[in-house]
Amino acid sequence: MSINRELSACFERIASLLEVLDANGFKINANRKVARILKELPEDLGQYKDDRKGLLAMDGIGAGSADRILEFLQTGTIEELDRLSGEIPEGLTALLDVPGLGPKTVRRLWQEVDVTSIEKLQTAIADGTLESMPRMGAKTIANIADSLAFMETAGDRLGIGIAMPVAEDLVARLQALSGTRQITYAGSLRRGRETIGDIDLLAVTDDVEQLSTAFTESPEVVKILARGETKCSVRLEQGIQIDLRMVEHDAFGAALMYFTGSKEHNVLLRERAIRHGLRLNEYGLFPEDGENGTPQSRGVAPTASDTEESIYEALELPYHPPELREERDGIEESPGKLVDVDSIRAELHSHTDASDGVLSIRSLALEAKARGLHTIAVTDHSRSSVQANGLSEKRLLAHIDAIHEVDSELKGIRVLAGSEVDILADGSLDYDDELLAKLDLVVASPHVALRQDPAKATRRLLQAIRHPLVHIIGHPTGRIINRREGLSPDMPKLVEAARECDTALEINANPLRLDLRDTHVRLAVDAGCLISIDTDAHRAEDFDLLRYGVLTARRGRLGPDQCVNAWTAKKLHAWLESKR
């Protein structure tokens, strides 16, 4: 954090503490105003360390504020802030950090129901104490609960949808340098995990100086953590850390394998090497000669090192794509054929401007066609999704006709009339069967009551899976990564029912959802159940999200036979028909 932001946060915190202590409103606002000014200040406050006059010359900074800024610049703290923090119960400051929980509410929680810590807040939500407070709505309570859940799981891991574009941008820029021979990302990002701890880049360069400089001086870098001959580390604005390792050309495969991980996969491979009288490290696979020290330092030639494939082969193992290198995957079993982005030929969950998308039916269909799909299903929201402008029965009937008309006009792509029908809390659907039967395809998804207990959630989803007119269960748990846990149904039961009823479960490819998640996909695949990978497109760019759904599918070991989007048009349409 820059010094300006740190100082701004101090003044903001002082204002919040004053508010919790019910201090004079004028004083609260004055501190907030200073916080705002400091946050937006273009120049670095660090330069004012010995310049009280300069601070006073700034608009909106009075003597008291100037002194506290100086105090912070010189000592790293503000005495008033420590004093105020001491005047409230210790756990209360943590409550101020809960997103969406303002100082006024924190004061009420403290004064009215003696909630003075995160734990007490959780209890008060669970036992209904919060509900009993006057002027405390169900919506507010639900938001607080969401924030708490978010804080528990969020940690510092970054969503893949944010990490991937950052990494690809950087790789493309560094690849363009004259000295760069090879550069790629490795680590959890290459394995396609839904969240990423840090980004690992691996490069071969003829000009270490050029590459290190370009990397550490990239415009988005806020801090250089390390700069050495073989490794550099930086931190970007969003708090992302990136490691860049520079390796020898001949050892690229071994290094890529090592830094792709997972750690557990590496351990399994190393043990396997030992059993074969070999030694595996990030420089290569070497014959074991019983000498001490690393083989590469003694000039021993590797058995394999330049490609990952050659190393798996020398270990007499099938090649494992990065998505199948987690501990759960083991190393001996052959992964079989997996879906890839090119094998996906149909999008079965998408929205137009009739509900909450931005494209017309026609533009959506043309976009799908341009992307080489043979089928697109238009599935706008149903009537209960009011905030998403869900369609009334009457609007849906007209929409079906409009979709079929576009379908008859366009050559080279089938445009299907579908709906994303809400699965209501009790498991019933948002339209009656007569209307559902008029649709070419029904995606049924949970959008509300996502905090239901597991038994209820299981019954609810089973009912939708068994509904004879439903083809696909959209984002089955309704989770939002790092923000909302969603439903926790009995997955083995769901996949079993889905297989029996020939209903597909969706992998929603939106990187905020990835729902089903990888482990659920694996369960579904093993149960022999059908899977649909869909982007849930609301705009043209959303079609690009497909890759995240495919990565998740591959981590679940999904092959093209079980993925309805990878089927030929004929096979897909026959399946859709079978439920009509």
Interaction site with Zn ion (CB under 5 A): 420, 536
Four-point Cα dihedral 241, 245, 246, 250, nearest 10: -140
Cβ within 8 Å of residue 290, ≥6 positions away: none
Q: Which ranges constitute the DSSP H helices of 375-490?
A: 393-409, 433-436, 454-466
User: Which residues in the 532-551 window bind Ca ion by CB under 5 A?
Assistant: none
- Rounded least distance, CB 55 to Ca ion, Å: 41
Answer positive or negative: Cα dihedral of 149, 489, 495, 416.
Answer: negative
| Pick 121 or 196: Cβ nearer ligand DGT | 196
Q: Which does 263 bind (CB under 5 to 8 A by kind): Zn ion, ligand DGT, Ca ion, none?
A: ligand DGT
- The item of Zn ion, Ca ion, ligand DGT, none sharing an interface with residue 375, based on CB under 5 to 8 Å by kind, is none
Q: Smallest gap, in angstroms, from Cβ of residue 329 to ligand DGT?
A: 13
For the CB of residue 536, give the shortest distance to Zn ion in the complex, in Å. 4
312 binds, among ligand DGT, Zn ion, Ca ion, none (CB under 5 to 8 A by kind): none
Q: Where are the beta strands (DSSP E) in 247-292?
A: 278-281, 284-287
| CA 110 to mean position of chain CA atoms | 34
Residue 118 or 331: which CB sits closer to ligand DGT? 331
420 binds, among Ca ion, Zn ion, ligand DGT, none (CB under 5 to 8 A by kind): Zn ion
| Shortest separation between residue 444's beta carbon and ligand DGT, angstroms | 34
Q: Which residue is nearest to Zn ion (CB)?
A: 536
Cα-atom radius of gyration of the chain, to the nearest Å?
Answer: 28
Residue among 325 and 399 whose Cβ is closer to Ca ion? 325
Residue number, 263 or 394, with CB nearest to ligand DGT: 263
Written as one string, the DSSP assignment of 31-67 is: HHHHHHHHHH-SS-GGGGTT-HHHHHTSTT--HHHHH
Q: Are the C-beta atoms of residues 391 and 382 closer than 8 Å to each other?
A: yes
How many helices and strands (H and E) does the chain possess?
23, 16
Residue with Cβ nearer Zn ion (420 or 485): 420
485 binds Ca ion (CB under 5 A): no
259, interface contact from Zn ion, ligand DGT, Ca ion, none, CB < 5-8 Å by kind: ligand DGT
Nearer to Zn ion, 491 or 509 (CB): 509
**Considering beta carbons, is residue 67 or 198 the nearer one to Ca ion?**
198
Q: What is the footprint of Ca ion within residues 218-257 (CB under 5 A)? A: 243
Binding partner selected for residue 536 from Ca ion, ligand DGT, Zn ion, none, CB under the kind-specific 5 to 8 Å limit: Zn ion
Cβ closest to ligand DGT, residue 172 vs residue 267: 267
CA gap 473, 420 in Å, rounded: 9
Interface region with Ca ion, contact rule CB under 5 A, candidates 153-161, 200-208, 273-281, 307-315: 200-208
> DSSP state, 198?
-
Q: Which is nearer to ligand DGT, 135 or 263 (CB)?
A: 263
**Which among 22-30, 191-199, 333-341, 435-443 is the span making contact with Ca ion, rule CB under 5 A?**
191-199
Q: How far apart are CA 382 and CA 169, in angstroms?
A: 38
Residue with smaller CB distance to ligand DGT, 262 or 463: 262
Q: Please pick, from the candidates 200, 308, 347, 515, the single residue that binds Ca ion as defined by CB under 5 A.
A: 200
Closer Cβ to Ca ion, 198 or 356, answer by number: 198
How far is the C-alpha of 121 from the C-alpha of 262, rounded, in Å? Answer: 38
Residue with tokens 């341009």: 370
CB of 213 to Ca ion, least distance (A): 21
Q: How far is the CB of 260 from ligand DGT (least distance, A)?
A: 6
Sign of CA dihedral 299, 301, 307, 312: negative
| Closer residue to Zn ion, CB minimum distance, 443 or 524 | 443
DSSP designation for 492: H
Give the span between the Cα atoms of 289 and 118, in whole angstroms: 58
Candidates 89, 106, 88; CA nearest to 97 is 106
Q: How far is the CB of 254 from ligand DGT (least distance, A)?
A: 12
Residue nearest to ligand DGT (CB): 261
Query: In whole angstroms, how close is the CB of 186 to ligand DGT at the nearest point?
Result: 7
Number of residues that bind Ca ion (CB under 5 A): 5
Site string for Ca ion, 60-99 (x = CB under 5 A): ----------------------------------------
* CB of 55 closer than 8 Å to CB of 70: yes
Tell me which of 67, 198, 313, 340 binds Ca ion, using CB under 5 A.
Answer: 198
Cβ neighbours around 564 below 10 Å, total: 24
All residues at 6 or more sequence positions from 373 whose CB lies less than 8 Å from its CB, including other chains: 344, 345, 346, 347, 413
φ/ψ of 17, rounded to 5, equals -65, -40
* Distance of closest approach, residue 303 Cβ to ligand DGT, in angstroms: 19
At 507, which amino acid appears?
I
Of Zn ion, Ca ion, ligand DGT, none, which one sits near residue 437, judging by CB under 5 to 8 A according to partner kind? none
CA distances from 248 to 208, 283, 300, 416 (A): 11, 9, 15, 53
- State the residues that interact with ligand DGT by CB under 6 A: 187-188, 193, 196-198, 200, 258-259, 261-263, 266-267
Q: In terms of DSSP H, where are the helices of 290-392? A: 308-314, 361-370
Interaction of residue 187 with Ca ion, rule CB under 5 A: yes
Would you say 304 and 253 are in contact if contact means Cβ atoms under 8 Å apart?
A: yes
| DSSP, residue by residue, 437-452 | TTSSEEEEE--S-TT-
List residues near Ca ion by CB under 5 A. Answer: 187-188, 198, 200, 243
